[in-house]
Structure 1
Amino acid sequence: MLHVRDVFPSARVINYCEFYFNREGQDYGFDPEFPDSDPDGFRIRTENMTQLVSLVAADAGISPTRWQRSRYPELFQERISVIHDGIDLDIVKPDPIARIHLPQKSLTLTRGEQVITYVSRNLEPYRGFHVFMRTLPEIQRRLPRAHVLIVGGDDVSYGSPSGAGTYREKYLAEVGQQLDMSRVHFLGRIPYSDYLRVLQVSTAHVYLTYPFVLSWSMLEAMAAGAIVVGSRTAPVQEVIEDGHNGLLVDFFSQAELVESIAHVCDGGSGMDEVRHASMRTIREHFSLRDKCLPRQLDTLGVSTTSVRRAAIAARVASVLS
């Protein structure tokens, strides 16, 4: 956003305030297994410089969660509205007949089976991949019928590379000999339609994260009807109330994670109520069309009526063509 005001001097400029770096209370220094490469934290001030200059020039800001807004200096917080990007519930929704076919293993999974899912853009510690992988031997022992679907690439989005090979290779080398790999499926990066089917067949969706940016995948899993077992970290706690619309565990506790996953997959008491409360949370607070988009347009100073007219005109034009 640094030069947007220079290029469009008359425009209303709204910054997307996703994440402000701080030394305390978030990702920096959170995981003792992966100490930060900058122990003094000097890099953090540098990383915020462009944001600060951009915020001074902006008319307002949008942040997707209250916690993410709270990371910004108080001087700017009153100018930042909490408005999530939104989940398109016309697309992301339960599908009782959804199925995932894995041709290499001659296997088809449906909603009626025990399916544990894990999704991240890349498989790395920031999203708790190391914790999840270390639970798999015990999960497989506790749930001998369960299949695990893991979606994500082998690059690094956040943090540092593993040093030798990928994080997937690193943790398979650590626990792979203890696993029944016929029930653990690494899908890599897949088309969005396939990803949605993964969520739609999911019984328990694992979402672990450092105190950091909230992933769309957690909210989309809730919207698709999966029960999220999430880490007791910000901003997950802002969305999930433990036992009401999901389950929360200590990020570092493998035992808690195993127990919670087993409880969901075994159909523990109240799980149907949790599932319905989860979908209701998304519908009431994160619906793109009903909640988020109208507020985004209002912040931008755009008439929702004019947007509807433009959308109708575009649809008519596409039909006529």
Structure 2
Amino acid sequence: MNGPSGARHVLVVFHATFPVAHGGINVMIAELAHAWSAMGIRVSLFAPGPWGQKTLSVERFGPITLYKMRLRPLWDRRRPLRGLLGLVAELPRTLWTLWRLIRREGVDVIHFHTARDYQFFFHLLRWFGGPPGVTTFHGTDALVLAEGKRRDTPLLRWIVRRSAAVTAVAPHIGRLIERACPDLAPVRVVLNGVNVGIGGALDQPPDDMRLPERFWVVVGWVEPPKGQDVAIRAWAEVSRLWPDLHLVIVGGQTFFPNGEPHFPGFFEAMLNLVAENGTAERVHFLGQLPREQVLAVMARARGLLFPSLREGLPYALLEAGLFGLPVVCHRIPPFSDLIGEGVNGLLIPVGDDRSLAEAVSRLESDPEAARRMGEAWREQVHERHSVRAMARGYVSLFATLAGDETGWGVRGTSDGS
């Protein structure tokens, strides 16, 4: 089903408010969309709109079109009967609107950025000849499906089973899904990728950002799964050995739509921990920053600490490779799949702040080893984790699902990656 221009057309369905600006989880969507456009593929984006948006809206950002419209959930927990009646009344119009969009634009493949309950509308269209869909898992979404603790898990499993293919952004996520849901195997792994062309473009932070002369950096939301407490505890020992070495923590809190924090009191607990271990002058919280400023901070850092307890394949880890930073991570599957001990970084036991301090001290004591590990990580990111490699991985799958390899990537990949 080719679009009006004859080019192949991918519709990306995602859960966010504005995907084109680089930042947060939307980095992958934005960079994929631009990479596919550079390959000669038409790309459109669809996001569920706010509750009051009953009709389809259209916004254009260069060659990329963003569609938004309200999609009713299948089950309204607060008002079950009223929600069901509203869904029955609205279902024909919603399906007709989505069907017209897909037919008018000539969509060949739908890429579901994550599995969400509202995607059942698109899967219903398969009964009327709609295009095949690919569902991608990133980390937390895979745990939701595997653990089955949410009320909407049966619906999510139905949605994923309706997908023509299931992909994961890292090997351990693919293994998790296959163990929990054998009927979904094989899960194809398409590794996350970053724009490797930006590594040398941000060698200075903004003028108004005051950074220590020598520091390591932690990047991520300030919340228990990210493990900032491990790094903070370790810094008491690091400061004793290296008094001029600082720790910079980049990231803010996460909040529910009503403004309540996901993890009440955790950020304040981290501030208290810094005060308790006497590192108030050595540990700095920069808060949530635009991606360009995060990269500028990383460009000045001596290394990246990633003490997360669980992850998918985080962009911050890949971005450290853009600047040749040595990395110190917990020994958990997403990191042990990528980091070879002493080759492109160091792995420490989970929650072991003493080992983290020893790892930082080891790299500070041997700058040449730190440089070698950083360069090895840079080479691996360029070879395996570029936007180009990620885009080609998906396109290869899309071409197979569409049953015709013509029209996919006919202009190469001049995406700057």
| TM superposition score normalised by structure 2 | 0.61
CA contact (8 A) 1:21 1:44 kept: no
Please state how far the C-alpha of 1:205 moved relative to its aligned partner: 0.5
Matched, 1:69 2:174: yes
For 2:196, the equivalent position in structure 1 comes to 89
Q: Is the 8 A contact 2:364 2:370 kept in 1?
A: no
Within a 5 Å distance, the mapping from 1:83-162 to structure 2 comes to 83-91=190-198, 93-94=199-200, 98-100=203-205, 103=208, 107-109=210-212, 113-120=213-220, 122-155=221-254, 161-162=262-263
Q: Which residue of 2 aligns with 1:59?
A: 164
Q: Which residue of 2 aligns with 1:245?
A: 344
* Residue identity matched to 2:355: E
Instruction: Describe the shift of the 1:235–1:194 C-alpha distance in structure 2 as closer, same or farther (beyond 3 A).
Output: same
* Contact persistence 1:124–1:156 (CA under 8 A): no
Aligned to 1:189: 288
Displacement after TM superposition at 1:178 (Å): 3.4
* Cα displacement string for residues 157-200 of structure 1 (whole angstroms, at most 9, x for unaligned residues): 9xx9444x3x2211221331433434322111111111111111
List per-residue Cα deviations over 1:178-232 (Å, max 9, x = no partner).
3343432211111111111111112120112223423111111122211110000
- Per-residue CA deviation, residues 81-104 of structure 1 (Å, 9 max, x unaligned), is 10023111112x246x82335747
Relative to structure 1, the CA distance from residue 215 to residue 192 in structure 2 (aligned partners, 3 Å threshold; closer, same or farther) is same
What amino acid sits opposite 2:397 in the alignment? Answer: T
Partners of 1:295 and 1:99 in 2: CA distance:
33
Q: 2:233·2:277 contact (CA, 8 Å) conserved in 1?
A: no
Q: What's the offset of the Cα at 1:267?
A: 3.2
In 2, distance between residues paired with 1:136 and 1:261?
9
Whether 1:300 aligns to 2:398 is yes
The aligned counterpart of 2:371 is: 272
Letter in 2 for 1:193: E
Give unmatched runs, 5+ long, in structure 2: 1-118
CA distance 1:99–1:108, change in 2 (3 Å): farther
1:49 equivalent in structure 2: 154
Aligned residue number for residue 131 of structure 2: 11
Retained in 2: the 8 A contact 1:102–1:108? no
Q: Mapping of 1:194-213 within 5 angstroms?
A: 194-213=293-312
Task: Please report how far the alpha carbon of residue 305 of structure 1 lies from its aligned counterpart in structure 2 after TM superposition.
Answer: 6.0
How many residue pairs are counted as aligned between the two chains?
A: 282
Work out the CA distance in 2 between the residues paired with 1:82 and 1:226. 25
Q: Which segment is superposed worse, 268-277 or 232-241?
A: 268-277
Q: Provide closer, same or farther for how the CA distance between residues 108 and 253 of structure 1 changes in structure 2, counting only shifts above 3 A.
A: closer
Quote the offset at 1:143 in angstroms: 1.6
Counterpart residue identity of residue 175, structure 2:
S
AA in 1 matched with 2:143? F
CA distance in 1, matches of 2:170, 2:145: 19
Rate the CA distance shift 1:156–1:125 in 2: closer, same or farther, 3 A: farther
Question: Which piece of structure 1 moves more, 132-141 or 185-194?
Answer: 132-141
Structure number with greater Rg is: 2
Separation (CA, whole Å) in 1 of partners of 2:137 and 2:406: 23
Query: Hey, what's the Cα distance between the residues in 1 that align with 2:380 and 2:413?
Result: 27
Q: Is the contact made by 1:203 and 1:264 (CA closer than 8 Å) also made in structure 2?
A: no
CA change 1:44–1:259 in 2 (3 A) is same
- 8 Å contact kept, 1:128–1:251: no
Contact 2:225 2:308 in 1 (8 A): yes
CA deviations on 1:112-169 (whole Å, 9 max, x unpaired) are x43210000x201101122122222222222211122111112269xx9444x3x221
Out of 267, 277, 287, which is 1:178 matched to?
277
What amino acid does structure 2 have at the position aligned with 1:294?
R
| Partner Cα distance (2:145, 2:407) in 1 | 44
AA partner of residue 68 (structure 1): I
Structure 1 unmatched runs, 5+: 25-40, 313-321
For residues 120 and 168 of structure 2, the distance between their equivalents in structure 1, rounded to whole angstroms, comes to: 17
Distance in 2 between residues matched to 1:130 and 1:23, nearest whole Å: 28
Give me the whole-angstrom Cα distance separating, in 2, the residues matched to 1:132 and 1:192: 22
The answer on 1:20 being equivalent to 2:128 is no
The alpha carbon displacement at 1:50 in A equals 3.3
**For 2:394, what is the secondary structure of its paired residue?**
helix
- Label 1:309 to 1:186 Cα distance change in 2 as closer, same or farther (>3 A): same
The aligned residue for residue 231 of structure 1 is: 330
What's the offset of the Cα at 1:60?
Answer: 0.4
Tell me if structure 1 keeps the 8 A contact 2:330–2:348.
yes
SS at match of 1:270: helix
Contact 1:124-1:130 at 8 Å conserved across structures: no
